[in-house]
Amino acid sequence: MRYCLKYMFAAACLSLGLAACDSQLETFEMVDAATGAPEAFDVSTVNAESLPGSIKLTWTNAQSDFAYMQIRYQDPLQKEEICKIVSEKTSELLIEDTRARFGDYTFRFQTFNARHEGSGVTEMTAKSGPAPAVLTEKKRIKVALANEQLSTDNQEPTEGEIANLLDGNVGTFFHTRWSSPQKPMPQYIQVDFKEEHEIFSFKYTTRDSGNQDGFPTAAQLQISSDGEEWETVASLSGLPVSSATEYTSDFVNPQKPFKYFRFLVTSASTNSNYFHLSEFSFYDVEVEVYDPETVPLD
Q: From 105, 131, 157, give the residue that closes a domain.
A: 131
pLDDT tens-digit map of 166-222: 999 999 999 999 999 999 999 999 999 989 999 999 999 999 999 999 999 999 999
Residue 297 lies in a domain: no
We report the CATH number of the domain holding residue 89 as: 2.60.40.10
Q: Do residues 144 and 119 share a domain?
A: no
Q: Are residues 123 and 106 in the same domain?
A: yes
Looking at the domain assignment, is residue 77 inside a domain?
A: yes
Same domain, 90 and 149: no
Q: Indicate whether 294 belongs to any domain.
A: no
Residue 262 belongs to a domain: yes
Asked if 66 and 111 sit in the same domain, the reply is yes
Note whether 88 and 176 are same-domain residues: no
Indicate if the pLDDT at residue 28 is higher than 60.
Answer: no
Asked whether residue 148 falls in the same domain as residue 274, the answer is yes
128 and 55 Cβ atoms separated by less than 8 Å: yes
- Let me know whether 109 and 76 are in one domain: yes
Residues 116 and 167 placed together within one structural domain of the fold: no
Question: Domain end: 77, 97, 131, which one?
Answer: 131
Do residues 191 and 261 make contact, with C-beta atoms less than 8 angstroms apart?
A: yes
Evaluate the omega torsion of the peptide bond into residue 292 and state whether it is cis, within 30 degrees of 0: no
174, 277 Cβ separation under 8 angstroms: yes
Per-residue model confidence (pLDDT) at position 234 = 98
Indicate whether 19 pLDDT > 90. no
Q: What is the mean pLDDT of the chain?
A: 91
Q: Are residues 97 and 187 in the same domain?
A: no
Residue 295 lies in a domain: no
Q: Is 214 left (phi over 0), alpha (psi -120 to 50) or beta?
A: left
Q: Give pLDDT tens digits for 137-171.
A: 999 999 999 999 999 999 999 999 999 999 999 99
SS3 30: strand
pLDDT in tens, 78-129: 999 999 999 888 999 999 999 999 999 999 999 999 889 999 999 999 999 9
| Structural domain for 56, as ranges | 2-131
Q: How far apart are CA 141 and CA 254, in angstroms?
A: 17
pLDDT at res. 62? 64
Domain match, 83 and 184 both? no
CATH number of the domain where residue 256 is located: 2.60.120.260
- Per the domain annotation, does 99 fall within a domain? yes
Q: Are 216 and 275 in contact (CB under 8 A)?
A: yes
Query: According to the model, what pLDDT value does residue 61 have?
Result: 74
- Cα–Cα distance measured from residue 289 to residue 255, given in angstroms and rounded to the nearest whole number: 13
Is 45 part of any domain? Answer: yes
Is the domain of 117 the same as that of 177?
no
Q: How far apart are CA 21 and CA 234, in angstroms?
A: 42
In sequence order, what are the residues at sequence separation of 6 or more whose Cβ sits closer than 8 angstroms to the Cβ of residue 187? Answer: 152, 153, 154, 176, 264, 265, 274, 275
CA distance 133 to 99: 11
Please tell me the distance from the alpha carbon of residue 184 to that of residue 123, in angstroms, as a whole number: 60
**Residue 54: its H or E element:** strand 54-59
Q: Is the pLDDT of residue 242 over 80?
A: yes
CA distance 40 to 30: 20
**Those residues with Cβ within 8 angstroms of residue 100's Cβ, 6 or more apart along the chain or in another chain:** 50, 127, 128, 129, 130, 131, 293
From first CA to last CA, the distance across the chain in angstroms is 49
**Of 80, 107, 131, which marks where a domain is finished?**
131
In order of 148, 154, 293, the CA distances from 184 in angstroms are 25, 10, 46
Residue 296 lies in a domain: no
| Structural domain count of the chain | 2
d(CA 38, CA 34): 8
**Do both 158 and 249 map to the same domain?**
yes
